[in-house]
Structure 1
Amino acid sequence: MEAGKQEQMKYRLAEAMKKCMKDTPVERITVKEIVETCGTTRQTFYRNFQDKYDLINWYFDKILQESFEHMGEGRTVYEGLVKKFEFISQERLFFRAAFKSDEQNCLKDHDFQLITEFYTNKIESKSGKKMTEELKFLLEMYCQGSIYMTVQWVLGRKKATPQELARSLVEAMPMELAGVFRSLHLI
């Protein structure tokens, strides 16, 4: 299957997963239900994804890429976060179901890994040097906290607009980490 058609199939499978999530918790959705909803085969599903969590993580990756692709090229952490939260808001049903799941390949863990790698790469490429252990610690702590607050927001436990949530997360950044981000023009 050519790359473009494979990408289209992945999006079709993601749409089918979203439809299934409207009525069924993630843990109870089967690959059989996803492929029946999509009108394809299990073989096609497994050619594209390891399991339903791999599909959820792939879709989330696409959203993150879209939200953060221009950050650092004139776009700040705040602007990247607003974009991410606006998209999550449009797809709230999907994310509410996905973030509720604590199964393997958990979206919270995946988000933590992606965000931490993203910020690490930005800091190291813009500064031209490896992050110190102390800065890594602050970054990991900050990313864990920001994901927790994102999940609270998605589940409706924290009321805020995408802009308010992004502002709160930027303001909550540890002082030393914020200083590094500021010096690299990321906030």
Structure 2
Amino acid sequence: MERKPLSKITIADITEDCGINRMTFYYHFQDIYDLIDWICQEEGARAIQGRKNYATWQDGFLALCHTIQANRVFVEGVYHSVQREKIENYLYQIVYDLLFDVVCELSDGSLISQEDQQYITNFYKYGFVGVVLEWVRTGMKEPPERLTHQLSRMAHGQLLLAIQNMSEAPALSKEPE
């Protein structure tokens, strides 16, 4: 991606750069987009590894931002291609995994359903990922530490408040009466 846009990269380019044959590539991946998914999942999981609880989620998010920044050419190449949703989906999954564990930890002992835990996690996931996508779109000018600090300030106490609100408010029935 340092030499050409994603749309111009072929399997032959990848196998030649890696010193492997096409069959080896296809043994592991269906196509280039499958490889992109794998790279995103591996890098994201490595970034937040062991940092998915209330005390460490900021460290996990910061590590994720540093990983994105370290892989800037790759991330921007995919983001600015027709495969932009690959980066978005990767971020949604990684941030969901990060936040869901925090929501579960904070809701321990409360009367909140798993469905409500998932709803809270999804709600905040979209906000967090929106901030990261805007950061990528604008060239990652802001340091990851500032981005993480701002998100941490915004979210401070909000997950617990959302859990309390969801456990106190009666759920609407799914069937009309």
TM-score by length of 2: 0.73
Q: Could you tell me which of 67, 71, 75 is aligned with 2:51?
A: 71
Q: Could you tell me which of 138, 155, 158 is aligned with 1:156?
A: 138
Q: Which residue of 2 aligns with 1:45?
A: 25
- Where structure 2 has 5 or more consecutive residues not aligned to the other structure, the ranges are 164-177
The runs of at least 4 aligned residues of structure 1 exceeding 6 Å deviation read: none
- Where structure 1 has 5 or more consecutive residues not aligned to the other structure, the ranges are 1-20, 182-187
Which segment drifts farther, 45-54 or 143-152?
143-152
Aligned residues: 160
Percent identity over the alignment is 23
1:131 aligns with 2:111: no
Q: Quote how far apart the aligned CAs of 1:166 are.
A: 0.8
**Counterpart contact for 1:77–1:170, Cα < 8 Å:** no
Q: Which residue of 2 aligns with 1:10?
A: none
TM-score by length of 1: 0.70
Q: Quote how far apart the aligned CAs of 1:121 are.
A: 4.1
Change (3 A) 1:63 1:158: closer
**How do 1:34-113 and structure 2 match up within 5 A?**
34-72=14-52, 75-103=55-83, 106-113=86-93
Deviation string 1:65-93 (CA, Å, 9 cap, x unpaired) is 22211214685211111111122222211
Q: Could you tell me which of 156, 159, 174 is aligned with 1:177?
A: 159
Deviation string 1:88-125 (CA, Å, 9 cap, x unpaired) is 22221111112223438612112212321343245336
**Rg (Cα) greater in structure:** 2
Q: CA RMSD in A?
A: 2.9
